[in-house]
Structure 1
Amino acid sequence: MILGVVEKEKNIERELYTYQKEAIETIFERFKSFPESYNILYQLPTGGGKTVIFSEIAKRYIKETGRKVLILTHRIELSKQTSKTLTEIKVKNKVINSTVKEIPNQEDFMCYVAMVETLNNRLKEKQLDMKNIGLVIVDEAHYNSFRKLFKYFSKCDILGVTATPLSSNINLPMKNTYNELIVGHSISELIEKSFLAKATTYSYNVGLGALRIGINGDYTVKSSEVVYIDYVMQEKLIYAYEERAKNKKTLIFNNGINTSKFVYDSFKSAGYPIRHLDNKHNDSERKEIIDWFRETPDAIITSVGILTTGFDVPDIEAIILNRATRSLTLYHQMIGRGSRIMDTKKTFTVVDMGNNLARFGLWEDSINWQSIFKNPDFYFENLTSDENIERLFTYEMPADLRKKFKKSSKFEFDVEAAFKENKNKGLKPKLALDMAIEQHATMCLENSEDAYDALELIKLLNDSIAYRVQQ
């Protein structure tokens, strides 16, 4: 583990922090300790400056060895970002995207930045002959799409960088690709030293009984949409936004385009400035939406997974997780979008609408990455199940909802206690549910003018009803 005091140090070309310098030194020391073809995985939280670190590594490697560096990315935004960073530190580089069919002047470049699928196609079709590559750097290394390229660079050193050293494919653990993991500073350390903003997290319990797990190990889009397109969930989302994130620049993450569009319609109808963005938008549409988001105070973007990487708007003040996930990587990526620190922004808000906090803990909690790297199966097997999460949940009626039942003196009803009491008295235990229904009905009658009002109030008790049934 890289240790040491984190502090700013001035540098005319690029300001590097002590922990970044220490990471670079540690990585070079490890490569020098082994023969060629040694694979290192480096972990650093989102916002810690991974791009800066591996760009400096590329510059130093070229200078010290005279050999070329190949940097692999999986999204065009990351390719552009990496190329820009390299150019800033005077590393002449060539981006290999879909428009590049060949590189006739290879001697002019010591560094390439390549989209993984494009490069794989060019190499497979023998359109490119990349010579004198000594180091391959893999950005967002937890994605498995990169593995197909490693056979072309079997004699090269490989450096993978990621915020979460947990493979996107549970059947292809990262320990099978990388010889060792180097762990950088933790989120809490970077927050303490004012390199990341501090998150304040609020969690709203949701019933996830309808969710189904797909072959990739995460919840399916289809089952997520059943839960999150529901009218009650939309109402709960707007309530959570108004309670915790109103008037803040906000990103809302969803699992499914249809859900995101429903969120857009709901917020638009409520009068909030919101745009929807998904991977079906072309480059010009995407740019227009993101520019609008940057320039509009209190703006909201609702999206799917398109903004989890390669998207940097420092003044984001709130992240809403309007989805459940079993992916620790995705959990950290989504929250990380709000972690950039500014002179005018030291904290940000996280609103969890998917029981993710109960599943993974706080974003800034300490994580034993070495253990996860070496034993990923053990980690997955011990993820808290949705059943256990909901079993531990205790429903408490929100203050705003209580106001709608202000004429009632009793809001709670312990179904479990009533069940046991009826059983001990020799009565049918299921009478407890009848008693719970009667208590809800009394609340609605006490606070309504007529039957229509009572029916509207019943709709507001869905969470309370679900909790009592669960008991």
Structure 2
Amino acid sequence: MSDRVEALQDKKSGKELYNYQQGAIQQIFEKFDTAPSDYHLLYQLPTGGGKTVIFSEMVRQYLKNHDRKVLVMTHRIELCNQTSTMLTSFGVENKVVNSKANLDDQANYSCFVAMVETLNNRLNDGKLDISDIGLVIIDEAHYNSFTKLFKFFETSFILGVTATPLSSNKELPMKDNYNELIAGETIEALIENEFLARAEVFQYDMGLTSLEVGSNGDYTVKSSEDLYSSPAMLQKLVDAYKKHSLGKKTLIFNNGINTSINVYYAFRQAGIPIMHLDNTATKKQRAQILQWFKETPNAILTSVSILTTGFDEPTIDTIILNRATKSLTLYYQMIGRGSRILNNKSKFTVVDLGNNYYRFGPWGADLDWQMIFKSPNYYIDRIQSDESIEAKFRHELHEDIQEDFAKSEDTYFDVKQVYIDATAKGESSKVVLERSIEHHAKMCIENSEDVYDAIALAKLLKDDINNRIAVYAKCISKSTHNFISWLKDDYKKKLNSYLRQNFDDVFEQIHGYPPED
């Protein structure tokens, strides 16, 4: 076992805290000592930085120096149990307030750990005495479900902790519920000091304009499943895995159970070991699947959002974002699952199939959390739309057919620019497709000996043609399914016709001599 791993284990057992963790505790206690007793403080620290370690040590110190009690709130049962275990390792006796808890002995405890919904029920039915709670700690504080409980703790100091101080609901900004934010160590600093692994990102240009945004501000499950469960997208996912992470431990995030199940079958069909996990699994099934994932070096686990919080598996090598999200918090949570260090692991792979990198920037970018906390809408409103992201894509030939067109120096055709130039000259938009067909024809002829070769090559351009048609349809603001389908068929017919009529002339222009009979 490396010294690094031993140090981490010491830290988790409460024997050792890192300097930045001790500094955070000091900062928070200084605020606790100087601010009003009902102050609401928010503390930010990246996933993997040890938020639970910090507030567990805080609880230990608080109970040692104060006569009042502590309550820790979480939003999921798994986090509730993990938090209780961590507190115990720091020597803090605590009682978990769940639906089955017997509260007859509550007077014997100075620290309680509760899930938000259970706590709400217990407080409303008066079964938990909170009259002596001096400190309330809220884990994953960006979830708004906690705010309904604030009314019960009007005389308590509230400490919210989160990796991303941005509310899950645009209408309920965190600044309305917290007086101040303390920003902790940055991801880059944690990477530089070997507390986190560095992400190596491979992003794919994805057409996402079919996705719809729901009332929660993120993409709907239905529109996501329609797109990501399609055969083409499933194949793209399998190909991306084979290219970047074949044989490596991989966690795949999807938006929707049906998509995850389809991913499971797509990998099984490709002969690749994989398991699926969602929130319908029993406790026993979940434990078995996660044990398999932990022990199997090349395991792949496909899931929905069940593993974004409270799940630590340092052996993960690759995170695949097989979904798009408009949530900065979710983006950071998903990637953070791969950032845990282990032995010689200093980096991990991220495959982005949702344009998330383009939308939010690199994981670990130097975000101004203070500005985001104070002016969340200013930040949210400046996140790029799918249209603006995709407008910058440069669709190149797929690598599978690049060799077939190796003799062509220029395989890229800028549909949008040609459209702009044509309309500026007063030309019909149809000339854009005519020039595109000429360009595709030239590519086919450059790499052929006769017209039959050229027509065979034209069939390989299906995806490139579809891309050009999609850009053209946006330029002319016509995008009905039937119209685009007709355009694609018409384009292919005209390309084949052009090749038959002009092969000899174009061949001679290129080579300076006519083709052989």
Identify if the C-alpha distance between structure 1 residues 394 and 90 changes in structure 2 by more than 3 Å, giving closer, same or farther.
same
Q: Residue 411 of structure 1: CA displacement? A: 2.8
In structure 2, the residue matched to 1:104 is: 104
Identify if the C-alpha distance between structure 1 residues 430 and 330 changes in structure 2 by more than 3 Å, giving closer, same or farther.
same
1:159-202: CA deviations, max 9, x gaps? 00000000111111111111100000000010011100001111
In structure 2, the residue matched to 1:62 is: 63
Query: How is 1:364-443 mapped onto 2 (pairs within 5 angstroms)?
Result: 364-403=364-403, 405=405, 411-419=411-419, 428-437=428-437, 439-440=439-440
Query: How is 1:59-458 mapped onto 2 (pairs within 5 angstroms)?
Result: 59-100=60-101, 102-403=102-403, 405=405, 411-419=411-419, 428-437=428-437, 439-440=439-440, 458=462
Mapped contact 1:274–1:299 kept (Cα < 8 A): yes
1:385-444: CA deviations, max 9, x gaps? 111111111122243341355576653223245446656787533122244246557767
- Residue 84 of structure 2 aligns to a residue whose secondary structure is helix
Q: Residue 295 of structure 1: CA displacement? A: 0.8
Deviation larger for 451-460 or 427-436: 451-460
In the alignment, the residues of structure 2 paired with residue 225 and residue 414 of structure 1 have an alpha-carbon distance, to the nearest angstrom, of 31
- Residue 104 of structure 2 aligns to a residue whose secondary structure is coil
Give ranges in structure 1 of 5+ residues lacking alignment: 1-6
- Residue 104 of structure 1 aligns to a residue whose secondary structure is helix
Deviation larger for 400-409 or 231-240: 400-409
In structure 2, the residue matched to 1:3 is: none
1:228-281: CA deviations, max 9, x gaps? 122222222122112212222111111111111111111111111111111111
In the alignment, the residues of structure 1 paired with residue 404 and residue 264 of structure 2 have an alpha-carbon distance, to the nearest angstrom, of 27
| Structure with greater contact order relative to length (CA < 8 Å, sep ≥ 6) | 1
- Residue 134 of structure 1 aligns to a residue whose secondary structure is strand
Query: How is 1:1-20 mapped onto 2 (pairs within 5 angstroms)?
Result: 13-20=14-21
The AA in structure 1 aligned to 2:284 is S
Deviation larger for 167-176 or 226-235: 226-235
- Residue 114 of structure 1 aligns to a residue whose secondary structure is strand
Give the root-mean-square deviation of aligned CA atoms: 2.6
- Residue 122 of structure 1 aligns to a residue whose secondary structure is helix
Q: Residue 112 of structure 1: CA displacement? A: 0.7
Identify if the C-alpha distance between structure 1 residues 403 and 274 changes in structure 2 by more than 3 Å, giving closer, same or farther.
farther
Mapped contact 1:8–1:16 kept (Cα < 8 A): no
In the alignment, the residues of structure 2 paired with residue 444 and residue 468 of structure 1 have an alpha-carbon distance, to the nearest angstrom, of 21
Structure in which a larger fraction of residues adopt helix: 2
In structure 2, the residue matched to 1:36 is: 37
Stretches of 4+ aligned residues off by more than 4 angstroms: 7-13, 404-410, 420-427, 437-457, 459-465, 467-471
In the alignment, the residues of structure 1 paired with residue 238 and residue 473 of structure 2 have an alpha-carbon distance, to the nearest angstrom, of 25
Mapped contact 1:165–1:373 kept (Cα < 8 A): yes
- Residue 402 of structure 2 aligns to a residue whose secondary structure is helix
Deviation larger for 122-131 or 344-353: 122-131
In the alignment, the residues of structure 1 paired with residue 179 and residue 421 of structure 2 have an alpha-carbon distance, to the nearest angstrom, of 60
1:3-27: CA deviations, max 9, x gaps? xxxx999878422000000000000
The AA in structure 2 aligned to 1:377 is N
Deviation larger for 433-442 or 231-240: 433-442
Deviation larger for 294-303 or 421-430: 421-430
Mapped contact 2:103–2:127 kept (Cα < 8 A): no
Mapped contact 1:9–1:17 kept (Cα < 8 A): no
Mapped contact 1:419–1:430 kept (Cα < 8 A): no
Identify if the C-alpha distance between structure 1 residues 281 and 214 changes in structure 2 by more than 3 Å, giving closer, same or farther.
same
Deviation larger for 420-429 or 84-93: 420-429
User: Given the two structures, how large is their TM-score scaled by the length of structure 1?
Assistant: 0.92
In the alignment, the residues of structure 1 paired with residue 24 and residue 314 of structure 2 have an alpha-carbon distance, to the nearest angstrom, of 24
- Residue 130 of structure 1 aligns to a residue whose secondary structure is coil
The AA in structure 1 aligned to 2:189 is E
Identity score, percent: 54
In the alignment, the residues of structure 1 paired with residue 287 and residue 123 of structure 2 have an alpha-carbon distance, to the nearest angstrom, of 31
Identify if the C-alpha distance between structure 1 residues 110 and 426 changes in structure 2 by more than 3 Å, giving closer, same or farther.
closer
Give ranges in structure 2 of 5+ residues lacking alignment: 1-6, 476-517
- Residue 264 of structure 2 aligns to a residue whose secondary structure is helix
- Residue 71 of structure 2 aligns to a residue whose secondary structure is strand
- Residue 400 of structure 1 aligns to a residue whose secondary structure is coil
Deviation larger for 403-412 or 24-33: 403-412
Aligned positions, number: 464
Identify if the C-alpha distance between structure 1 residues 312 and 104 changes in structure 2 by more than 3 Å, giving closer, same or farther.
same
Mapped contact 1:433–1:469 kept (Cα < 8 A): no
Q: Residue 377 of structure 1: CA displacement? A: 1.2
Identify if the C-alpha distance between structure 1 residues 401 and 63 changes in structure 2 by more than 3 Å, giving closer, same or farther.
farther
1:8-55: CA deviations, max 9, x gaps? 998784220000000000000001002211110000000000000000
Identify if the C-alpha distance between structure 1 residues 325 and 449 changes in structure 2 by more than 3 Å, giving closer, same or farther.
same
In the alignment, the residues of structure 2 paired with residue 244 and residue 250 of structure 1 have an alpha-carbon distance, to the nearest angstrom, of 11
Mapped contact 1:140–1:161 kept (Cα < 8 A): yes
Identify if the C-alpha distance between structure 1 residues 124 and 10 changes in structure 2 by more than 3 Å, giving closer, same or farther.
closer
